[in-house]
Amino acid sequence: WILWIGFKRAREREYDRSKLDATTFAALKQILAHANETVPFYQKLWIEAGVDINKINSPEDLWKLPIISRNDLQKQPQSALISRVSRKARLNFTSGTTAHPRIFLRDETARIYNHITALRHFADYQIPTGFTSLFVHPKPNTPISYEYRANELLSCRIYVSIFDLLSDPNLILHLNPDVVAG
């Protein structure tokens, strides 16, 4: 029910572009203020760059923020990157398609928003309840696995290595997915 309400609200906001832009920028300001108050890395970075977060008042002001590369973030100790007042979260891992798997924190609110976004895409593309999605990953020598997801329209995710698909292109016909992601 909570996901449906969030989905409905997201759809209502989608059609009023100026309202969506204002809501998005207000949320960004909250994130910047939170990072400035609680994350050592950003506090130090913005002081050194002479940035006053309180003077970021429009999207046009975002150029004042220094550009940070993934490499810059990877060089930091974990304690410098995590907010001192973070909500309860759990560790998640990326697949490693960009060379190295990465670890990140995801709290319950982020998980709910992620599901709402997924439901919105399913509705936009008229993906039916009970669909099967094929997730292609780059790990060789891993068995095909299945994951049933009640929170995503009772869908089934099938995880398969790209190497299996390359060695047996007919495998995709056998798995018969409604959606392919990779």
**What residues are paired with 137 via a beta bridge?**
161
Instruction: Write down how long the chain is.
Output: 182
**9 or 94, higher pLDDT:** 94
Q: Read off the pTM.
A: 0.50
- pLDDT over 60 at 13, yes or no: no
Q: What is the pLDDT of residue 1?
A: 42
Q: What pLDDT, in 10s, does the model give residues 115-144?
A: 788 778 778 888 888 888 888 888 888 899
**CB neighbour class for 155 (10 Å; exposed up to 12, middle 13-18, buried from 19):** buried
Confidence band for 114, pLDDT divided at 50, 70 and 90: confident
Q: Under a CB-based contact definition with an 8 Å cutoff, are residues 105 and 152 in contact? A: no
Short-list 130, 142, 112, CA closest to 177 = 130
- pLDDT over 50 at 2, yes or no: no
Task: State the pairing for strand pair 179-181/89-93.
Answer: unpaired
68-72, 94-98, 121-125, 158-162: segment of lowest average pLDDT: 94-98
Q: What is the pLDDT of residue 43?
A: 94
